[in-house]
């Protein structure tokens, strides 16, 4: 974490954050995965649901593809999203 | 407010009529909320006590964004951040002709259901903070509900058509109670998904037994510590809490939680102008450094209880917008006022859709847009930089899509498809169940596709978000929050800035067990502003010298040993209309 430490006249340490670069990025993900591990110990945990795990993996692939398609669409992205939104809301 | 830039909304002066109370006689009076020189003020006049004026927001631009309404091409409102909730049936019919907020209990004017139950477990405390409203010495009586009374309060909130999902134990200092771990278990047994303790850390930080206490609480059901944390400098904490060298005390709490596996701490900073506001960036830094156990930061601009002069008011008042500006300044614009923050009510429709599709209890954050703002910080896996979550999503598009989607499907929740039942009887009912299940699956597919198109980055965090959308389960929400850092600001009301429109939408409700066997339910701000002293006198227990002198509050340590028997003796005189000592 980049920071500059400033000491005020009252002796307070004020840490001015220059950027929010985390040296702990992996810890974040680990904390989340530990939580998953914690819940997975229970038999009825959603993290042990085969169907759901399969859907999540499928959506992960879909999201990866979608990010690439968005890049290709360039300026037309918003127009395409609007059309898709109308399709998704159609008939409800 | 990039999405308001260049719109007419910013050009129009904000004006809104509402109701408030007189800070002196507490009678209901008209009030107006007006824009003046880039700020938002509440102005009111009591016929007997004169004019009152108080700042609601130091940024009119930001305030207008939080009161934003999306309109269609004909100018009709499609959705807005100000919402009415799915309120539970009232507990009582109000008998005070003045109506809200005098009929709390809860009355039929309330527009939201309760998301977070608050129970004061005791008003005993090892600290004696100058701005605290709940303190045994200052009150002159003891407040400490019995286990039977606590169970009654919990059942009151869990047995409603829309049960409250989370509970917070407050005080006083809740962990001075020897039976605190049992109370956590009771909350879980009653079905609360999230059990939270608002604490200065007393029980958890003890050098002897602190770790064992933390483990026991965690094992019995405590999920989250709402830890009082005003800064990282001893000098700051001494100013706010009157105790020397408190940082090691706080660090012992963090360390014991880490060792016990209790990995959900929310740092709560009371923001006082000129004292703790300089440390908002420090607290973010501290949270990031301890991210394995810290899940969030909540800033609470101090509320002003008691009578003060207009000059003092101007001097002391700090609003949510001031806090957000400080965060912006102290993070070098990384968490900007312009785009990072959203009112808590933003996610209402998203939550309703998830709850409906997954058949889980809904969580209704239909509080007023002025109550609180929040953002999430997440780690960008590409740059390793902490970024506001808006870098992952297109939040306004997600909000817009969710609102439109819910508007179209909300009737399905109340009126499921009944097609075959009409001509095939019971067999038809079974067929209709299948049809409804299939209908939900196609709705779920549409909703996920909609969410997907406004998601900008892949990664583990997005997998967890997908799980929330799929199952709405607390496990998924909990895992998601473990991969992110919540930063929020919640400004509680006092008699000077009280807006009854806010009060009616409050989602944080106090519960008090009354001597007649009922439970008094009151929105947080009206409890503290209007009802606390009256209600406490009804349920108070007499205070003995032993209990009064239990702690040396200049050091925050226990001196006199108060046993369960001492407290039981006081239970016997409970409900006798315990009176204030000076009376």
- Say whether pLDDT at B583 is over 50: no
Q: Rounded mean pLDDT of chain A? A: 80
Is the same domain home to A33 and A57? no
Is the same domain home to A61 and A86? yes
HSE value, Cβ hemisphere, 13 Å, CA-based, for B84: 5
Give the structural domain span for A68. 46-91
Identify the CA nearest to B469 among candidates B359, B358, B328.
Answer: B358
What is the pLDDT at residue A1? 43
Quick check: A17 and B409 CB within 8 A?
A: no
Q: Rounded mean pLDDT of chain B? A: 88
Residue B2 — very low, low, confident or very high, per pLDDT cuts 50/70/90? low
Higher pLDDT, B518 or B478: B518
Is the same domain home to A30 and A53? no
- Optimal mutation site among A17, A69, A81, interface B, most CBs of chain B within 10 A: A17
Residue B567 — very low, low, confident or very high, per pLDDT cuts 50/70/90? low
Is the same domain home to A29 and A63? no
- Say whether pLDDT at A75 is over 90: no
Higher pLDDT, A22 or B134: B134
DSSP state for residue B92 in the 8-state scheme? S
CA distance B252 to B258: 10
Is the same domain home to A29 and A60? no
Segment B500-510 mean pLDDT: 95
Residue B275 buriedness (CB in 10 A; 0-12 / 13-18 / 19+): middle
Is the same domain home to A7 and A35? yes
What is the pLDDT at residue B388? 84
Is the same domain home to A71 and A86? yes
What is the pLDDT at residue B308? 62
Is the same domain home to A74 and A50? yes
Which residue among B378, B397, B466 places its CB closest to the CB of A56?
Answer: B466
What is the pLDDT at residue B306? 57
Q: A33 to chain B, minimum CA–CA distance in Å?
A: 7
- Optimal mutation site among A26, A32, A78, A84, interface B, most CBs of chain B within 10 A: A32
Is the same domain home to A15 and A32? yes
Is the same domain home to A32 and A51? no
B41 Cβ contact partners less than 8 Å away, ≥ 6 residues apart:
B33, B34, B35, B53, B54, B55, B56
Q: Of all helices (H) and strands (E), which one includes residue A56?
A: helix A50-73
Q: Are B250 and B236 in contact (CB under 8 A)?
A: no
Domain count, chain A: 2
Q: What pLDDT digit, counting tens, does each position of B252-271 carry? A: 999 999 999 998 999 999 99
Is the same domain home to A23 and A51? no
Q: What pLDDT digit, counting tens, does each position of B531-551 carry? A: 998 999 999 988 888 888 888
Identify the CA nearest to B280 among candidates A28, A21, A16, A10.
Answer: A16
Spell out which residues of chain B touch residue A41, defining contact as CB-CB under 8 Å.
none
What is the pLDDT at residue B442? 93
Q: What pLDDT digit, counting tens, does each position of B272-329 carry? A: 888 899 899 899 988 988 888 999 999 999 877 655 676 777 777 899 999 999 999 8
Structure tokens at B235: 């000098």
CA distance A44 to B473: 12
In this predicted structure, which of B109-118, B175-184, B205-214, B565-574 has the lowest mean pLDDT?
B565-574
- Say whether pLDDT at B518 is over 80: yes
Is the same domain home to A83 and A60? yes
């Amino acid at each position: 974490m980049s920071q500059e430490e400033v000491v005020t006249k009252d002796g307070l340490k004020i840490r001015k954050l220059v950027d929010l670069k985390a040296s702990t990025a992996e810890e974040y993900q680990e904390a989340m995965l530990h939580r998953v591990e914690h819940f997975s110990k229970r038999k009825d945990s959603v993290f042990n649901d085969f169907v759901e795990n399969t859907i999540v993996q499928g959506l992960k692939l879909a999201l990866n593809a979608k990010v690439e398609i968005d890049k290709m669409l360039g300026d037309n992205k918003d127009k395409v999203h609007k059309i898709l939104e109308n399709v998704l809301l159609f008939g409800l | 407010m990039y999405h308001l830039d260049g719109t007419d909304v910013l050009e129009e002066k904000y004006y809104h009529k509402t109701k408030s109370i007189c800070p002196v006689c507490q009678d209901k009076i008209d009030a107006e909320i007006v824009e003046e020189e880039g700020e938002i003020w509440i102005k009111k006049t009591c016929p007997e006590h004169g004019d009152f004026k108080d700042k609601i927001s130091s940024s009119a631009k930001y305030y207008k964004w939080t009161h934003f309404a999306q309109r269609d091409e004909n100018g009709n409102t499609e959705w807005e951040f100000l919402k009415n909730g799915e309120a539970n049936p009232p507990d009582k019919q109000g008998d005070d002709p003045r109506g809200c907020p005098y009929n709390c209990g809860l009355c039929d004017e309330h527009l939201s259901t309760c998301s977070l139950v608050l129970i004061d477990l005791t008003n005993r405390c090892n600290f004696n903070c100058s701005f605290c409203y709940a303190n045994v010495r200052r009150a002159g009586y003891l407040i400490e509900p019995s286990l039977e009374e606590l169970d009654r309060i919990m059942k009151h909130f869990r047995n409603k058509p829309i049960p409250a999902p989370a509970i917070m134990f407050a005080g006083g200092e809740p962990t001075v109670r020897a039976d605190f771990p049992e109370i956590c278990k009771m909350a879980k047994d009653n079905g609360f998904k999230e059990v939270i303790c608002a604490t200065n850390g007393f029980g958890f930080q003890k050098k002897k037994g602190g770790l064992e206490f933390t483990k026991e609480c965690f094992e019995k059901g405590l999920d989250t510590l709402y830890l009082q944390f005003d800064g990282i400098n001893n000098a700051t904490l001494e100013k706010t809490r009157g105790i020397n060298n408190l940082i090691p005390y706080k660090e012992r709490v963090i360390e014991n939680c880490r060792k016990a596996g209790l990995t959900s701490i929310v740092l709560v900073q009371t923001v006082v102008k000129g004292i703790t506001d300089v440390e908002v960036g420090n607290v973010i830094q501290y949270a990031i450094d301890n991210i394995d156990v810290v899940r969030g930061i909540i800033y609470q601009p101090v509320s002003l209880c008691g009578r003060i002069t207009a000059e003092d008011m101007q001097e002391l008042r700090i609003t949510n917008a001031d806090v957000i500006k400080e965060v912006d300044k102290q993070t070098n614009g990384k968490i900007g006022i312009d785009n990072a923050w959203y009112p808590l009510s933003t996610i209402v429709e998203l939550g309703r859709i998830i709850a409906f599709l997954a058949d889980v209890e809904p969580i209704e954050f239909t509080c007023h847009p002025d109550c609180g703002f929040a953002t999430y910080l997440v780690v960008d896996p590409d740059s390793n930089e902490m970024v506001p979550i808006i870098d992952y999503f297109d939040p306004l598009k997600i909000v817009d899509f969710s609102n439109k989607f819910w508007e179209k499907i909300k009737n399905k929740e109340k009126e499921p498809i009944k097609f075959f039942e009409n001509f095939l009887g019971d067999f038809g009912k079974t067929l209709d169940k299948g049809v409804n299940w299939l209908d939900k699956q196609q709705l779920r597919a549409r909703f996920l596709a909609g969410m997907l198109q406004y998601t900008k980055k892949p990664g583990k965090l997005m997998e967890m978000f997908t799980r929330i959308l799929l199952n709405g389960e607390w496990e998924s929400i909990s895992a998601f929050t473990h991969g992110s850092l919540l930063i929020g600001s919640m400004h509680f009301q006092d008699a000077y800035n009280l807006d009854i429109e806010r009060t009616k939408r409050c989602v944080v409700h106090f519960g008090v067990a009354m001597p007649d066997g009922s439970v008094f339910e009151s929105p947080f701000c009206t409890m503290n502003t209007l009802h606390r002293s009256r209600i406490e006198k009804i349920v108070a227990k007499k205070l003995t010298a032993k209990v009064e002198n239990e702690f040396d509050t200049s050091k925050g340590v226990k001196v006199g040993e108060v046993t369960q028997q001492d407290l039981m003796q006081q239970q016997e005189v409970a409900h006798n209309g315990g009176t204030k000592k000076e009376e």
